[in-house]
Every structure is written in C-alpha cells, then in structure tokens.
Amino acid sequence: MSHKSRNRKQTRHAPAMSPLLRALTFSRAAHEPITRAMLLQAYASLDAFRRGQGSRELFTTLGRQLLVAEELSRIGHVPEAIDDIAEAQIAMADIDVTEKAGGKWTVEGDNYAWLTIALDAFARQLADASLEDIAKAEARMIEGLMRTEQELAHTVAA
C-alpha cells in the first residue's frame, strides 16, 4: 500500500454550486447597487430642479432615466405607468422651456408631481426587472435617441 493515500490532506469543500445558480446569485447581488445608483441619480436630479439648482447635465440624466422607465414599461415592467411616464416627459419639456425663457433650471407644481409619480414607478420597475431587462431597456433608449438624432439631421439637411 502506498504512503501517498494515507498522507492525503483532509480539506473541506464548499457545496458545489451550479453555474446557473452562481450566475443568478451574482446577478442578484449586483442588482441592488446598480438600481440604487440609477434611482439616486434620478432623485438627486429632481431635487436639484426642485431647489432651482438644475443643470443641462442633470436634465439629461433625468430625461434618460425617464426614457429607460418608458422602455421598461414597454417590456412589461409596470406597464400601467406608461401614461404617468409620458406626463413626466412633458414636465421635462416644460423644464427646458422654463430654462430657455428665464435661464433657471427649476420645476414646481404639477410638473414636480408628475416627475415624482414617474420616479416612483421607475423604482418599482427597477425592483421588478432583471439586470438583463434593464440593459435591454437602456439599449432601446439609446437606439431611440440615435434614431431621433438621425431624423433631425435628415430634416435639417432637406
């Protein structure tokens, strides 16, 4: 009998985890920090506008988050919120008009209410959606922005 078999180290192994379960675990672990960061950006932007401290950059950030929310609704996450999100997008247009007229990035009244309603829906969407669906919604949002930019370029060129 060989001495090798008697001298084998006894090691404890963690229970084996299937690759699918491991991917799901890591995906869930990554989900919360990503969605929290998205919501923090959106709510921080809204707060800045409420205090009259908005900017073009914050306007773009909040607008993009609303477009992602719209796409998440189209995918099937809180689809009943799509009209509320549309109202929030109208509020964003009003913020832009207000800035052009008075030079101040601000939101108040009904526009503020629509934005808070839409961000509440966005929070529910992010809690419900997988990272894959969030990425899909972001990709659709970018495709839509690129399509709009191309259409504007063709209109100006014509």
In a domain, 121, yes or no: yes
Residue 109 domain boundaries:
29-157
Q: How far apart are CA 10 and CA 99, in angstroms?
A: 70
Calculate helix-pair angle for 56-75, 109-128, nearest 10 degrees. 50
Confidence of residue 11 (pLDDT cuts 50, 70, 90): very low
- Chain segment 24-56, per-residue pLDDT in tens: 555 667 788 889 999 999 999 999 999 999 999
Per-residue pLDDT at 19: 63
Does pLDDT of 123 surpass 70? Answer: yes
Q: How many domains does the chain have?
A: 1
- Chain segment 74-98, per-residue pLDDT in tens: 999 999 999 999 999 999 999 999 9
Do the Cβ atoms of 137 and 122 come closer than 8 Å?
no
Give the N- to C-terminal CA distance of the chain in Å, as an integer.
89
Percent of the residues in the chain that have a pLDDT greater than 90, as a whole number: 64
Core vs surface per residue 70-85: b (16+ CB within 10 A) or e: bbbbebebbeebbebb
Do the Cβ atoms of 27 and 17 come closer than 8 Å?
no
Does pLDDT of 6 surpass 50? Answer: yes
In a domain, 97, yes or no: yes
In a domain, 22, yes or no: no
